[in-house]
Amino acid sequence: MIIRIVKLIIDREKVDEFQLFFEKTKPSIGNFIGCSHVELLKETKKGNVYFTYSHWKNEEMLQNYRNSIFFEGIWKNTKTYLSGKPEAWSLNKIDL
């Protein structure tokens, strides 16, 4: 399983609008082939720093999503809310 975390710094004036946008797109992301979980997290001290947190069956399915027309549209819209450079990590879960 791949865990994908993306840090997004949102324009403070667009925070509410961004949350509505994510709420509308979340079901479609979660239904994308290979995705088993997606959620939005908000940093506790800064009201405009968000993280998307998603689980993917494998790297190939994550890349299929990232290369899809669907993602292209979501990312195009997401960029309109940003006030900082996004950061992303793909992680393997380690079961000890």
Q: pLDDT in tens for each of the 96 residues of the chain? A: 999 999 999 999 999 999 999 999 999 999 999 999 999 999 999 899 999 999 999 999 999 999 999 999 999 999 999 999 999 999 998 888
What is the pTM (predicted TM-score) of this model?
A: 0.93
Q: What are the domain boundaries of the chain?
A: 2-92
Fold entry, domain 2-92? Alpha-Beta Plaits (3.30.70)
pLDDT of residue 94: 85
How many Å apart are CA 37 and CA 11, to the nearest integer?
Answer: 26
8 and 82 Cβ atoms separated by less than 8 Å: yes
CA 25 to chain centre: 10
Computed over its alpha carbons, how large is the radius of gyration of the chain? 13
pLDDT of residue 95: 83
